């Protein structure tokens, strides 16, 4: 949902997930890397791994659901 300063409201039927350029880690050498812990696009787009897995480090809810289902399915083979 987006609400403008003029109080106009826009509702989008499909949301998305913002993802990190790295697998989450609490290891000491990764603590200073903002791209590990913040999914804000302003942070992520400066990283060398930006967009390697997903376009713009984003997935629609629908695409995320498919990937989760596939990961679960493959894990059962």
Q: How confident is the model at residue 12 (pLDDT cuts 50, 70, 90)?
A: confident
Q: For residue 59, report the phi and psi dihedrals to the nearest 5 degrees.
A: -130, 140
Question: What's the pLDDT tens digit per position in 24-57?
Answer: 999 999 999 999 999 999 999 999 999 999 999 9
pLDDT value of residue 74: 82
Better-predicted residue by pLDDT, 75 or 38: 38
Selection from 17, 21, 20, 30 nearest residue 49 by Cα? 21
Q: How confident is the model at residue 77 (pLDDT cuts 50, 70, 90)?
A: low
Q: In this structure, are residues 35 and 44 in contact, taking their beta carbons and an 8 Å threshold?
A: yes
Say how far apart CA 49 and CA 52 lie, in whole Å: 6
If you search the block for the tokens 């804000």, which residue do you land on? 40
Residue 14 has pLDDT above 90, yes or no: no
Length of the chain: 77
């Amino acid at each position: 949902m987006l609400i403008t300063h003029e109080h106009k409201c826009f509702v989008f039927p499909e949301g998305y997930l913002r993802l990190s350029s790295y697998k989450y880690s609490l290891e000491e050498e990764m603590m200073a890397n903002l791209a590990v812990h913040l999914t804000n696009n302003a942070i992520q787009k400066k990283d060398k791994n930006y967009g390697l897995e997903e376009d713009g480090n984003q997935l629609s809810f629908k695409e995320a659901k498919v990937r989760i289902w596939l990961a679960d399915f493959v894990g059962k083979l």
